Structure formats: C-alpha cells, structure tokens
Structure 1
Amino acid sequence: MNAINAIVHLANNADPARRRKLYRQRSNPFDLRDLNFEIKYRFNKDTVRTIIDLVEDDLVQSARGGGTCPELQVLVAIRCWGRREVQDDAGDLHGLSQPTVSRICARVAHAIANKANSFIKMPITIGEQERISAKFRAIKNFPGVIGAIDCTHIKIKKTGGDMAQYYINRKGYYSLNVQVVCDADLKIMDIVARWRGSTHDSRIFMESNIKQRFEDRQFRGRLIGDSGYPLLPYLFTPILRPSRPEEEAYNNAHISTRNTVERCFGVWKQRFQCLLHGLPVSLQNGKAVIIALAVLHNIAIDMNDTLLEQHMEQVPVTPQLSTENSVHDNRPSLLRRRSQLILQNFINQHF
C-alpha cells in the first residue's frame, strides 16, 4: 500500500465517535442595507467602524489567527445589547455558540468601559462651561446650569448572598441605581453605576466624586436636580410649595431645563433595549456594560448618529415636578439657610 492509499485508508477507518470541528457559515453584516443595518446594530456603519477602531487592539485574535475577529465581536455585542436578543439567537445569526457570545459581550464591554475617561467627562475650561451653560439657557432661560442630574434604575438578574435584599428597589425588582449628569445635548458627562437599587438618589450624590468636585469649586456653574436631592449652593432643586409668581416661573423653567436628563435616559435606553428590560449578565459584568453603553451613547452624539431615533418607538418622557422626598436632611442649619438664601436671590434676580 502506497502512502496515498494509506492516508485514504486511515481517513475512512477513523474513529466515528471522534467529533469533527464544524465552522458555521458567517455572513458579513456590513453587506446589509444602511437602514436595515442601523435598526439591527443601533448605529450607522461609520459609527460602528469608529467603535471597532477604538477597541480593536483590545480584541485581538490568537497568535494562530483563531477566534472571532474584532469587527464581529463588536457587532455581536452591540446587537445583544441593542435588540435585547437572546445570546443563543445572536450566536446562530453570526455563526457562534452561546458561550462564545457570552464571553464576547463581556470582553467588548470591558474594552469599551476602559475608554470611559476619554468620552465621559465634565467640562474643565471656562469656555467649555460657558458653552454648555448657554445651551441650557436656550431651553427656558435658566442661567448658570452646566449639568442636569438624576438617577435611573437598571434592572439586573436576581442576586444571591447576604446583601441581595439591598438590590431590590422601591418598585420591587433587583436593580442598580445609576446616577447620571448630562449636558443640554443629552451627552453623559458623569456616571456612577455601582449602587444597589435600594439606595436613595441623594445618598449616591452625597458620596459621589462629582459632589466633591463642586465642593472644591472646580466648576463655575451649577447642577439642577429634582426634589430627591438636597438644595445646595451648586445644586438647585424645585420649590415644592411655591408662594409667589416668581417661584412658579422658576419651577417651570427648572422642570423644562432638567428634563434634558430624562430625555437622555429615554434616548439611551431606546438605543440599548437591555437597559429597559434588564441585563442578563453577572453583576460585575453588568456594571461594565452600563459604563460601556454610556460611552457608546456619547460616541453616537459625537458622530451625529441620530437616524435610529426616527425609526424606533420612543420611550415616553413626561416633564414633571418630582414629589419624592429627600432623605433626612442632616446638613448643618447654617448651610441650609445659606442655600435657601442663594436660591431666593437667584429667583429674585432672574425670574
């Protein structure tokens, strides 16, 4: 038997129980029409290529060329986050197994979240702060605002352990209470995504880095937030029982201006349906996903990628005056009086 016949004989008589590695057929998502691509992958093709370029070096294949290419990893992760698809279904669509999709989503989330400092940042220079303040003032003539602050609950999987009960929010489901500061363009400038769902908004703020930065007078403007936050010289809240026309006018301007953060949540969650319906991942990976999606939200704004909003059902956002009471106010009475005096002088001067 010559060498060729020997090879054929061995192949024909190979162990039938031995599994052969099968490679699934993979299509190229970039071959889709532009609108269809954007509906399925939440961004236009130029934005997705920008995202791929951003994290490509962090998603390299093995030295032998195996694994999934960075382009496909980013597309798979975005599709899972954006369309709330089951990982098994997303894997079938892209020729991948469910465990592979799970690992890809975690890997891409951490790669993007590691870039957060370049895309999520408060204005530093006086010029930047003045430009943001001017855009806020154009909404309802509310001067001096450089950020709108609020918290939103992101549903997570049921967690175990002794601390599990603290992740249950006042609506009865497990969540992370995520604090966001945004500008008038709905861009996220600061985000905190580590607090349990039962934590009050005011506590998150009082222990946040952004509060300390305002205390250190790094900013010339102020934040606006709902009545769940304490009134501070650099954080204006609504007047719950207005007694003068000027206070009514202040409240109306405050509601319309602060509504930017509600709209930010609406656009953010509409683009990424997992933020609306829940994150089917571990708690640690969930925190990375939230930060990564904030980065992607800002990239979309920078790229003026808004076509998706015209073709998808929008998350309803209704401006309203929050009636949620703040936690027990244990600030020194002198600070409370000073904050109230600053607010009244502001109202008398501008309204």
Structure 2
Amino acid sequence: MTDLLENMAYQFLFESDEEDEISYKLNHRRPRIIRQRMNWLAIYDQTDFIRRFRLSKDHIELILQKIEEKLVPNTERNHAIPPIIQLQVFIKFAATGSFLLSVADFFGISKTSAERIVSNVSLAISELHKEFIKFPSENQDILQNKVSNFNLSGFIHVIGAIDCIHVRIQSYGGDDGELFRNRKGFFSINVQAVVNSSLQILDWVAHWPGATHDATIFDNSRFKSRFESGEFGNGVLLGDSGYPSLPFLLTPLQNPQTPSEILYNEAQIRTRSMVERCFGLLGRMFPVLTLGSRFRSPQKTLQVITACAVLYNLSRETIAVTHDDIDKYNNFDRDLHENLVQNERQYIIENYFQNLI
C-alpha cells in the first residue's frame, strides 16, 4: 500500500512538472534577437576576402548581378537579410563545409535563416550552369581547345578529358538508399565532368547515385550523342580504363609493347591528368564536396554540387593560344584525317605517335 501511494505521488509530481514546463514555454517565448549582420565584403580587403571565401570581390559582384532579383526578400518586415549577405552565406558554407550553425554565427543570423539561404542561393546559382559550364561549339573555339590541350603533352585532336568524382553525402534512407552506396562503401553522388587544359569544366552531369558506374553515366549522356553524330569532327576525349575504347573516347592501352604504344600511353596519361587536377582544386576550393553534405533531400544536394561547379568555373581563366601555337598544331595535324575512323586509337598510334619516334 505504501509503494502504491509513493508511485501515485511520484506520477503526480512528474506530470505536474511537465505541465509547468509546457506552460512556461507557452508564456515565456524567447524574444526575437536581431544581431548585427556582418557584410564581410565591406570589411575584408581583397586578400583576406579570397582567403576566406575562395572568390574575389569582383566575382562576388558578378554573380550577385545575375541572381540578385531572385534573392530580394519577398516581405515587408524589417531586418530582412540583403542579397549580398545571402550570397556570402552560401559561399562561406561551401568554402568551409562547416555546420550551418557555425556559418550562421559568422554572419549574425539564425541557423534556420542560414539553411533557407543555402537552399535558395544554391538554386539560383545552379540555374546559371548553361552560361558558365558549356562545351565549345564554334570551330574556332574547338580548335583553340585542341591547341591548348596539345601543348600539355603533344596529344593530337583532344577536346577534353572525362572522368567522374564521388561527392560524399549522408544516406537518404528509404527503399533506394543503397543505390547511393558506391564501390568504396560510402554514400555519394557520382558526378561526370569533362575538363580542358585550363582546368575549366566543359560539361557537368550531376544526378546519378554513387552505385552507378562511370561508363553507364557516359552511355546515357547527351554528350555521347553529340560525339556520335559527328558534331566535333575529329575531336576526341581522353578517359581512363574504366571507359570503353570508342572512336571518340581514347583510353590507355593495358599492355603497350612497341615504342609508339608506350609513347601513346605516356601522352594519354599526362594529358588526362587535367581532369584529376581539376577535381583536386574543386575539392580544396569547396570542401563541402569532399567532407560530405548533410542534406536530407537529393535535390538540395544536387543544387549545391552544381552551384559549386559554376563558382569554380567563374574563378578559372582561359589559357591564351597564340598564332604560333596554332601553326605548330596544324603542322602535326595536316597529314591526319579530318573524320574519325573505327579504330581511332590504333590509327593515331600508327600515323602520329610512330612518326614522333
């Protein structure tokens, strides 16, 4: 009987405390605190700003001009966060890969505001991908691309190098969760990129789960169809051994025997390294791609990935090609065909690299 009375008393006290806590929360809401919003663009000089945001002030202002209308607060309330600070919030998040709470404190805003800003700004920047990530289509642009790539290691007809990078994510769960687990065991988005000698991204495909093979992404890409239609003439891509050997996609030989085959492999690997160098720079510039995002929605993750690629391309400058470079390239190219053949790799080995020995 005594135990029963003690249990009843304990339950009464517990429920009473819980009701008091709920009543306190309802009647004592935390006041809204408006902290000073930090516009670091106006505080830091150019050097300190680049160290913290990876981009120059001119780049920030250029992007702001293109997306400002989409970031203007649609509210009549005071203390709305201006677009210039919103843009800095997203870039700081991408450039550090930090928690949203840390980024929010850095700018004097709430975590909720930071999360909303990252989503809105990443969407606005990702929509600029057609302007900043584009493959050369004019003959003169294609030629300049070939010449700049040729200057790396003397590989003829190369428009770009292709490869994939795994962007680490948090598992989304659900029935399709395991589709994002890659062969290395962690969850990721498998992103395909084509890169030139300036380490600029020419093509960007970011919507495949991590379990998808690189060759599968290429087989289903619009980019492959453009090559199959002969849009780029005798232009070729360089890929690693994970891709099939095609007339327009040249891969390394597995067992080179002759001097010309060895020379082909060496030039192929050195030229193809530009895509790996690009991934390295991209990951260091925006660690959010390597440390792993914590978004619960694939759509938000893809927005951030593409937005980072747009900002990265904005920071890269095209390598200038001189008339002497073009003349030198044409001297090597004049005796080669203008259209691809069935076994393009063997043709280049026998008719180009063999003549270099």
| Structure-2 separation of matches of 1:98 and 1:164 | 27
What's 2:286 paired with? 272
Structure 2 residues not aligned, in runs of 5+: 1-25, 320-340
Question: Could you tell me whether the CA contact under 8 Å between 1:156 and 1:283 is conserved in 2?
Answer: no
1:229 matched residue in structure 2: 243
> Which residue, 281, 284, 289 being the options, matches 2:299?
284
Residue in 1 aligned with 2:349?
Answer: 347
Deviations 1:92-116 (A, max 9, x none): 1111111110110010010011111
One-letter amino acid of the structure 2 residue matched with residue 36 of structure 1: D
The answer to whether the 8 A contact 1:47-1:303 is kept is no
Name 1:114's counterpart in structure 2: 127
Superposition deviation, residue 252 in structure 1: 0.2
Identity of aligned residues (%): 37
Which aligned segments of 4 or more residues in structure 1 are displaced greater than 6 angstroms? Answer: none
Deviation readout 1:33-64 (Å, 9 max, x if unpaired):
32221111111211111121121111112242
**Any conservation in 1 of the 2:162–2:237 contact (CA below 8 Å)?**
yes
Tell whether 2:224 aligns with 1:211: yes
2:313 to 274, 298, 303: 298
Q: What is the aligned counterpart of 1:241 among 250, 255, 265?
A: 255
Count of residue pairs brought into register by the alignment: 303
Distance (whole Å) between structure 2 residues aligned to residue 108 and residue 27 of structure 1: 17
Partner secondary structure for residue 146 of structure 1: strand
- Please list, as runs of the form range in 1=range in 2, the aligned pairs for 1:14-93 lying within 5 A after superposition: 17=28, 19-30=30-41, 31-64=43-76, 66=78, 67-93=80-106
Secondary structure of the 1:193 match is: strand
Give the CA deviation at 1:350. Answer: 1.3
Change (3 A) 1:22 1:246: same
What one-letter code is carried by the residue in structure 1 that aligns with 2:239? G
The residue correspondences of 1:177-196 to structure 2 (distance < 5 A) are 177-196=190-209
Q: Distance in 1 between matches of 2:268 and 2:96?
A: 34
Within 1, Cα distance between the matches of 2:131 and 2:139?
Answer: 19
Cα separation, partners in 2 of 1:64 and 1:95, compared to 1, 3 Å = same
1:82, 1:271 within 8 Å by CA — same for their partners in 2? yes
C-alpha displacement of 1:198: 0.9
Cα distance change on mapping 1:65 and 1:18 into 2, 3 Å: closer
Quote the Cα distance in structure 1 between the aligned partners of 2:318 and 2:149: 21
The structure number with the bigger radius of gyration is 2
Asked if the contact 2:198–2:317 (Cα under 8 Å) also holds between the matched residues in 1, the reply is no
Give, in whole Å, the separation in 2 of the partners of 1:73 and 1:185. 30
CA contact (8 A) 2:191 2:208 kept: yes
Q: CA RMSD in A?
A: 1.7
Q: Which runs of 5+ in 1 are unaligned?
A: 1-14, 305-337
2:176 to 163, 171, 176: 163
Tell me: CA distance 1:61–1:196, structure 2 relative to 1, closer, same or farther (3 Å): same
Gap change, CA 1:127 and 1:65, over 3 Å in 2: farther
Contact 2:248 2:344 in 1 (8 A): no
- SS, match of residue 316 in structure 2: helix
Q: TM-score if structure 2 supplies the norm length?
A: 0.82
1:176 aligns with 2:178: no
Residue 20 of structure 1, CA deviation: 3.6
From 125, 139, 154, the counterpart of 1:126: 139
Per-residue Cα deviation, 1:191-226 (whole angstroms, up to 9, x for no partner) = 111111111110110011100111111112111100
Partner-residue secondary structure (3-state), 2:62? helix
Shift in Å at residue 343 of structure 1? Answer: 1.5
SS of residue matched to 1:154: strand
Give, in whole Å, the separation in 1 of the partners of 2:195 and 2:345: 22
Shift in Å, 1:302: 4.2
Alpha-carbon shift at residue 118 of structure 1 (Å): 0.8
- Partner of residue 150 from structure 1, selected from 163, 173, 194: 163
